[in-house]
Every structure is written in C-alpha cells, then in structure tokens.
Homo-oligomer: A and B are copies of this chain.
C-alpha cells in the first residue's frame, strides 16, 4: 500500500472556510492507488483557549494526575478538528474517517504533557484503508499503556505525522504550515534570505533548535526512520523545503552553508574560580533544570590551580531566577559571578562545515570586519555558533549570509 502523510497546522484550520479549503486541497492531492493519512492540529488558537481554561484550575503543575486531566482536556482540540475535517471531506465526496490519536494506535509512555511515542499500532488504519481513501488523525496525542490520553507537547502534531509515516513506511510526510518552508536566515533580520530547497535531517535539527519552527523530535524520528519530509505553505502551490538524508542531497549543495539561524534575548553567566572537581557541573545545572531553566551554550575554560571558569547562556527572562538559585545553593558567591544580558546568537549551519576548519576562520573574519566582538564560541559537527551583542545581530547575520549563501 502506497501511503502519503500530510499534516496541517492550526492556522490552516482556524475557521470553517479554511477547513473546507484544506479539504478541497486534500481531495485534489489524491492520486490513484495512493492512500492518504492527514494529521490535524487544533483549530486556530483553540489549544491556547483550552490551556487558559484549564490553568484556572491547575494548582500544582508537578502533580501527575493534574497533568493527566490536563492532557485529556487539551486532546479535545485536535479531536474536534479531525472530526470536522472528516465531515468536510465526506461532504465533497471523499471516503474518509477520523480517529483520535489513541484510536489511530499512537502509543506513548505516560509522561503526560510531553509524552514520547513508543510504538504505532497500524492495524486499524490498514483495515480502514480497505474502503477509505483518507484517514484523519488527531495530532499531538496518544495513549499510554494504562489507557490514559497523553499529549506530545507543543508542536507535537509534527511528531504524530512523522511517526505515522515511519510506522506505515509512507512515501513521504508533507508538513503544511503558514510559512513557505525553511529559510537560510530569519527574513526579518536578513531581507535577502532564501528558501532552502533541500536540507538534511542533521542541518534541520541544528536549524530547528536555533529558531526555525519545527518540533525537534519530529526531525529525529524522521532521521532515524529516513522519512522524506516536505515543509510547505498550506495555501500556496509552492514546493517548499524537502528534508531528506544527506546522501540524497545534491553534491554541490552539500558543500555549502545551508542556513544562518539567529536568536535574540540571550543572557550569559560566567562563574569564576569554580572548584574543578567531579560533579561540579551537575551540581550547577541540575537545580536549574529542575526549575525549568533551559541552559543553552556551555563553555568551560581550562582549569588552573584546581579552579576553572565556566560560562553558559540562557534566556534573558531566566537570568534572575538563575542567579537567585546559584547564590542560594552556594555554588558560587556573588562576587565570582559575572553576567551579561541582551546578547544574541548567530550560527552558520551546514553539512559542508564538517571537517572543514576554513569555515570557522571565515566566520570570525567576517565578524571582525564588521567590528563585532565575539563573547562566546561553540561548535558542533555541522554548526559554528557565536554569542555576540544583540545590537550586532543584524549586521552579523547579513554579512555572514552574504559571505556564505548569497
């Protein structure tokens, strides 16, 4: 059976007219001897409304039973849009049926609020394809071993779609959204940024975690299962971005920088003269993680005389609670802590960077030419990231785009 998975986001389904338009688009995309799975998000801002409603009564966010009831509450948003889409398709003559995530066989662990998909039982879907052409699945949700409704976290519908595509060995997974695809840089910062036609999973993961709007777990699942994905605009007939494994990308494109992701509102914390002993890093970062503070770049300088300097970045908004915690936990005293706010992060991402030291020095030179001071540097296999002043971000991204992409 040849199956294509499509996923439509909430902005594409925000009212009755848009739902009908998507239904027509789905009908038009039906191909002889192909079956279609359509994963839908909740209509427009309905998830936000449910969160608001539930938060009125949500006392303790760490209480598992609260998270369970909350998941049951939130899951209704996608069930509504799935039911409506199936009705709309049948109205225009398409043989369709709709399922909740649970009915569709999406099994997860019991981590309510951010459950992970453990397996997909495709039995009912395959059965239903005997006399249906389209199966609508409520995204963002699944069911735990004990039969409770779970949700996969914000953006989880992407993950639902890719997991179904992987389990059903689909030809591809098409993500329809409100943007044209993945761009080489944020168009608000770099006006002549370009739509990326082809991107590898590894590059996309670096782009996703650095600002582009895709659920990182969906990319991971796509990468592991080699699911070809497309990311395109739901209301335009444009090709969008194709996401597939590195080897299938054009050789020439492979050797270039793919994108220049940026982010704003970064703070940097430096701890001086930290005792350099085993366990010191976890004693610093575990309490922050427990508080829900997301630490991003971490840099530790070489130690001397049994002490070391340690720097890390986090969101501006998390700076004060972080400092409070560091002082409370006596990891360091106030005079040994330096902080800096209103920083920005700019990276170059591309599989071409791999094992090519030339890229780093070219990047530093471009920034130096713009008289931009680099506060921190961190690299991965396919990414080089610099922390700079937020006020320098625009000039940095534009000049890097000019150097590596234009």
Interface residues, chain A, CB within 8 Å of chain B?
16, 19-20, 50, 53-54, 56-59, 63, 65-66, 68-70, 72-73, 75-76, 79-80, 82-84, 86-88, 90-91, 97-98, 100, 103, 147
Task: List the number of copies, as a whole number.
Answer: 2
* Chain B: CB-nearest residue to A68: B97
Q: Which 4 residue pairs across A and B have the least CB separation, nearest first?
A: A73-B83, A57-B87, A76-B76, A59-B91
Main secondary structure of the interface of A (DSSP, over half): helix
> Do residues B100 and A59 form an inter-chain contact, with CB atoms below 8 A?
no
> Do residues B70 and A87 form an inter-chain contact, with CB atoms below 8 A?
yes
> Do residues A87 and B66 form an inter-chain contact, with CB atoms below 8 A?
yes
> Do residues B16 and A84 form an inter-chain contact, with CB atoms below 8 A?
no
Partner of A76, one of B54, B79, B86: B79
> Do residues B65 and A97 form an inter-chain contact, with CB atoms below 8 A?
yes
Given A79-B73, A80-B50, A83-B69, CB of A90 within 8 Å of CB of B59: yes
> Do residues A56 and B90 form an inter-chain contact, with CB atoms below 8 A?
no
Cα of A82 to Cα of B149 in the assembled complex, Å = 14
Smallest Cβ distance from A361 to chain B, in angstroms? 56
* Chain B: CB-nearest residue to A71: B83
Cα of A50 to Cα of B80 in the assembled complex, Å = 8
- Inside 8 A of A66's CB, which chain B residues have their CB? 87, 90
* Chain B: CB-nearest residue to A59: B91
Considering residues A16, A69, A90, A91, which has the most beta carbons from chain B within 10 angstroms of its beta carbon?
Answer: A69
> Do residues A80 and B87 form an inter-chain contact, with CB atoms below 8 A?
no
Cα of A162 to Cα of B16 in the assembled complex, Å = 37
Cα of A90 to Cα of B84 in the assembled complex, Å = 33
